[in-house]
């Protein structure tokens, strides 16, 4: 049943890109709104004219769209300065605020804090008490005419009818200052829910090295939005029954803000890779192949306008179960799209360090004679050859793999030969057979 009276907001500042912490805050707000049939409001807090940039606004909006966090309304604080001035003057006129003149800079409007105890019933943390005697008088409008964060935040949350403020616990210290202003303006105080911090695997605040990078960077690295959202969801919340992979529609049905953990969450890149792999394995192969076209074209591996769609889909299928990032594919599968390959130096030193010209020539001849060229007959030809030579299969499998792919790991060797095709496989084997020291 829809509950339009529930209204939450996500309020990023466009002084930088949308990072993981902001992404999780946006998710929990959006999820709460959707679970309650309410409204998700997006508010761009761009009061700092010097540091706010349009490129950051664009990136934040693009990232939220990519994550599929659709918003119902959007506001820009830079367009609302008269509203903040009007509310500050109300406090001036009622004697709750005063003017402080700054020489050469203009006048600031300051709220006078009266010592009292403020109690907040946090939806996640329970009751929190604050002593306002340690809080100094609060600037509402700075001498340059711009509103302060706490004042603009209160005015907007009140006038936009925000019912629940869900944000990071680094804002807990702002809460008593804001409650004082709500009360001074006779505004209804919303419910508060402060999400725990996200920590790195080594403890301490999340750093760039441990995952604190822009959502758009995760997109470029090849994570699927559904996988990233699923992973962010598990940072402080669980659907229960040890379930980790959860569809967003089911999460909306199960989500309760009161079930969010109080303790800090740990961001683990390995766990994110695992989660992305779960989603990549189940992605329709043709859809995944389509996502890879741009990446492969950028690396010069295919012509974006003219390529074999069926062939690409077949190659994608070979790697799909092992991919943890979409972008890995181009590095792992490049040998399928290149005419000439350069083996990895370590792989060459390990597996092409002795004379295998006889074995390579013989195997090349066996491939050439195959009338039916499929995975089963390729394997049969190989098994017969190693039996005749009286060697173990692995003695030849690894060198052949490196000669054909330049790598030590990959899909099954016989699948590799089949999709490379008879001519390319023979050509690569004979190239190494001719080289001295092979």
> What letter does residue 306 receive in the DSSP assignment?
B
**Rounded average pLDDT over 175-192:** 98
pLDDT at 360 > cutoff 80:
yes
Task: Name which of 372, 341, 336, 355 is nearest 433 in CA terms.
Answer: 355
**Rounded average pLDDT over 226-231:** 97
Contacts of 32 (CB under 8 A, 6+ apart): 6, 8, 38, 164, 166, 255, 257
pLDDT at 212 > cutoff 70:
no
For residue 412, give the 3-state DSSP assignment.
Answer: coil
Alpha-carbon distance 126 to 131, whole Å? 17
pLDDT of residue 199: 87
Pair 98, 142: CB distance under 8 Å: no
The pLDDT-based confidence of 433 (bands split at 50, 70, 90) is confident
Chain-wide mean pLDDT for the chain? 93
Q: Which of 53, 65, 112, 208 is catalytic?
A: 208
pLDDT of residue 435: 64
pLDDT of residue 210: 66
Per cent of the chain over pLDDT 90 is 86
pLDDT of residue 389: 93
**Rounded average pLDDT over 87-114:** 94
Tell whether the torsion through CA atoms of 170, 176, 180 and 182 is positive or negative: positive
The two three-digit tokens of residue 76, written as one number: 């820009």
pLDDT at 109 > cutoff 60:
yes
- Identical fold for domains 283-337 and 339-438, yes or no, is no
**Rounded average pLDDT over 78-90:** 98
Domain range 1-75+196-268, its CATH number among 3.40.50.300, 3.40.50.620, 3.40.50.720, 2.40.50.100 = 3.40.50.620
pLDDT at 207 > cutoff 70:
no
Read off the pTM.
Answer: 0.91
Identify the residue with better confidence: 36 or 438.
36
pLDDT in tens, 366-379: 999 999 999 999 99
Mean pLDDT highest for which of 100-109, 286-295, 345-354? 286-295
Task: Name which of 178, 91, 100, 96 is nearest 143 in CA terms.
Answer: 100
pLDDT at 438 > cutoff 50:
no
pLDDT of residue 103: 81
pLDDT of residue 105: 83
pLDDT in tens, 132-160: 999 999 999 999 999 999 999 999 999 99
pLDDT of residue 436: 42
pLDDT of residue 367: 96
Task: Name which of 169, 207, 166, 164 is nearest 189 in CA terms.
Answer: 164
Looking from the CA of 398 toward its CB, the CA atoms found within 13 Å total: 14
pLDDT at 202 > cutoff 80:
no
Domain 339-438 has CATH 3.40.50.2000: no
- Residue 198, burial from CB neighbour count under 10 angstroms (0-12, 13-18, 19+): buried
The residue ranges of every structural domain in the chain are: 1-75+196-268, 283-337, 339-438
Domain 283-337 has CATH 1.10.8: yes
208 is catalytic: yes
The pLDDT-based confidence of 242 (bands split at 50, 70, 90) is confident
**Rounded average pLDDT over 329-338:** 96
**Rounded average pLDDT over 87-115:** 94
pLDDT of residue 209: 65
Per cent of the chain over pLDDT 70 is 97
The pLDDT-based confidence of 3 (bands split at 50, 70, 90) is low
């Amino acid at each position: 049943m829809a509950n339009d009276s529930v209204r939450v907001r996500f309020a990023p500042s466009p002084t930088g890109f949308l990072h993981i912490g902001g992404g999780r805050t946006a998710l929990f707000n959006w999820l709460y709104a959707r679970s309650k049939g309410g409204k998700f409001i997006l508010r761009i807090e761009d009061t700092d004219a010097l540091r706010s940039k349009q490129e950051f606004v664009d990136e934040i909006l693009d990232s939220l769209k990519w994550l599929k966090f659709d918003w119902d309304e959007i506001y820009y604080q830079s367009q609302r300065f008269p509203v903040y001035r009007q509310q500050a003057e109300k406090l001036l006129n009622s004697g709750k605020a005063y003017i402080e003149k700054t020489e050469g800079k203009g006048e600031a409007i300051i709220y006078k804090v009266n010592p009292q105890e403020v109690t907040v019933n946090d939806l996640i943390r329970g009751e929190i008490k604050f002593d306002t005697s340690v809080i100094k008088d609060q600037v509402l409008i700075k001498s340059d005419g711009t509103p302060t964060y706490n004042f603009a935040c209160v005015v907007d949350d009140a006038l936009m009818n925000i019912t629940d403020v869900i944000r990071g616990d680094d804002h807990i210290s702002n809460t008593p200052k804001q409650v004082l202003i709500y009360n001074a303006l006779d505004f209804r105080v919303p419910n508060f829910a402060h999400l725990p911090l996200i920590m790195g695997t080594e403890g301490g605040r999340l750093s760039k090295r441990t995952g604190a990078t822009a959502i758009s960077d995760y997109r470029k690295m090849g994570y699927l939005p559904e996988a990233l959202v699923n992973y962010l969801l598990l940072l402080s919340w669980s659907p229960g029954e040890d379930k980790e992979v959860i569809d967003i529609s089911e999460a909306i049905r199960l989500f309760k803000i009161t079930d969010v953990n109080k303790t800090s969450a740990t961001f683990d890149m390995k766990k994110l890779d695992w989660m992305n792999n779960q989603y990549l394995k189940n992605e329709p192969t043709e859809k995944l192949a389509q996502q890879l076209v741009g990446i492969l074209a950028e690396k010069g591996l295919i012509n974006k306008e003219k390529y074999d769609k069926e062939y690409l889909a077949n190659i994608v299928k070979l790697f799909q179960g092992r991919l943890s990032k979409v972008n890995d594919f181009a590095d792992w599968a490049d040998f399928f799209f290149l005419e000439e390959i350069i083996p990895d130096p370590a792989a060459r030193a390990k597996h092409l360090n002795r004379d295998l010209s006889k074995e390579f020539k013989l195997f090349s001849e066996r491939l050439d004679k195959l009338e039916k060229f499929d995975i089963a007959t390729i394997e049969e030809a190989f098994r017969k050859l190693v039996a005749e030579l009286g060697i173990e299969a692995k003695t030849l499998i690894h060198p052949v793999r490196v000669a054909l792919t330049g790598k030590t790991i990959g899909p099954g060797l016989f699948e590799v030969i089949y999709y490379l095709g008879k001519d390319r496989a023979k050509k690569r084997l004979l190239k190494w057979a001719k080289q001295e020291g092979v």
